[in-house]
A = this chain, B = another copy of it.
Amino acid sequence: MSDTRPKKSKLGLREIASVAHVSIATVSRVLNGSNRVDPAIQKSVLAAAADLEIDFLQRKKTKALAFLLCNRAMQHAFHSRILLGAEAYCASRNWELLFQSLDYPAHVPSKELLLPKVLQRHDLVRGVVLAGTNSTNLLELLGEKGVPFVVLGNNVMGEFTDAKCDVVFSDDVQGGHDMTRYLISLGHRCIGFVGNIGLPWFARCFAGYQRAMEEAGLAPRHSTVNSENEAEIGYLGTKSLLARGEPVTAIFAGNDPTAHGVYKALRDSGLNIPDDVSVVGCDDTVGSYLYPTLTTIREFPEQLGKQMVELLVNRIADPGQKPQPVTVPTELIKRDSCRRFQPSEEIAAAGALQGAMI
């Protein structure tokens, strides 16, 4: 290779040990076991190592990252596409990727969580990609343990200040904003949002929707259903919007599977898409399978996965750098589920909805 340094004397644990005034065994522990070593000693060993060799990481045999899919069955193919993106980037950079799913409670102090055994293997797993749905307690725990990690920001529960760790977002807030503006530009004024705002990915989409509505001087109206089942959220949310007599001409579903539930509810109520009601979704997972095909917000999960690994690898290389947030844009995909709405139709539309309520 292109190693220009003359390798003065054999560089090994022995040398580090003598510089740091500890035993070889301790150096070995610091360098990979990492467990059961006094932080002060660990620090001095690391310093000694840094003195002697720049790239101790290179020296190691296996470089693996863990991909933790948390609290979520791999629905919608969305997360599996994130995994693929992550894997592709890993492969290109000669990292292995361990896949593991993990369920943990959201409302338990970080002390009481126990990490999967893989992550204990500091000599194998050098960092963690957190996909799925996470809550701040796990982030804290990883922070305390000093395990480098990146998290998919869209799906973090609870108050989440992104300043404290590397995080990748899919810009669904902007996507929701764009989409709402699009519906407004088509002439819609009464646009209902259906989702479960208790879940962060719905909340973010809703935030974009809400902002766009307020900017346009329109009243946001939403129907939130406290469920984890997305088709159910869409179905019940729509039924409830209709039952309240909201004169909606368009419904914004918080994601594509939810839109599927919306479709079903509208059909059950005898309403036609898009003639009676326009529908839009978000995430572009199953929108193209629906009928009529769904106007939605395309996200780029492979890109999210790639970005996450990229941030993580950078952090491992330079643990000191300050946390970095990355946002991946979204794209508005226009399909057949929307139509232009003439304000003059409003009375007629209201009539149709009245009919549907019977």
- Residues on A lying within 8 angstroms of B by beta carbon are 62, 64, 67, 73-77, 79-81, 83-84, 87-88, 91, 94, 96-101, 116-118, 121, 124, 260, 263, 286, 289-291
- Whole-angstrom distance between the Cβ of A295 and the nearest chain B Cβ: 15
- Whole-angstrom distance between the Cβ of A43 and the nearest chain B Cβ: 27
Is there an interface contact between B96 and A101, defined as CB atoms closer than 8 Å?
Answer: no
Known: A97-B99, A289-B289. 16 other contacts (CB 8 A): A62-B121, A74-B81, A74-B83, A76-B77, A77-B80, A83-B99, A87-B99, A87-B101, A88-B101, A94-B117, A99-B99, A260-B289, A286-B286, A286-B289, A290-B290, A290-B291
On chain B, the residues within 8 Å of A290 by CB distance are 289-291
- Whole-angstrom distance between the Cβ of A79 and the nearest chain B Cβ: 8
Chain copies in the assembled complex: 2
Is there an interface contact between A73 and B62, defined as CB atoms closer than 8 Å?
Answer: no
Q: Which of B79, B81, B87, B101 contacts A100 (CB 8 A)?
A: B87
Q: Which of B94, B97, B100 contacts A91 (CB 8 A)?
A: B100
Q: In the docked arrangement, what's the CA distance between A290 and B260, Å? A: 9
Q: In the docked arrangement, what's the CA distance between A83 and B80, Å? A: 9
Is there an interface contact between B98 and A96, defined as CB atoms closer than 8 Å?
Answer: yes
Q: In the docked arrangement, what's the CA distance between A116 and B100, Å? A: 20
- Whole-angstrom distance between the Cβ of A240 and the nearest chain B Cβ: 22
Residue among A75, A263, A291 facing the most chain B CB atoms (10 A cut-off): A291
Task: Using CB atoms, name the residue of chain B closest to A101.
Answer: B87
On chain B, the residues within 8 Å of A94 by CB distance are 117
CB contact under 8 A between A99 and B291, given known A62-B121, A80-B77: no
- Whole-angstrom distance between the Cβ of A276 and the nearest chain B Cβ: 16
Q: In the docked arrangement, what's the CA distance between A263 and B290, Å? A: 11
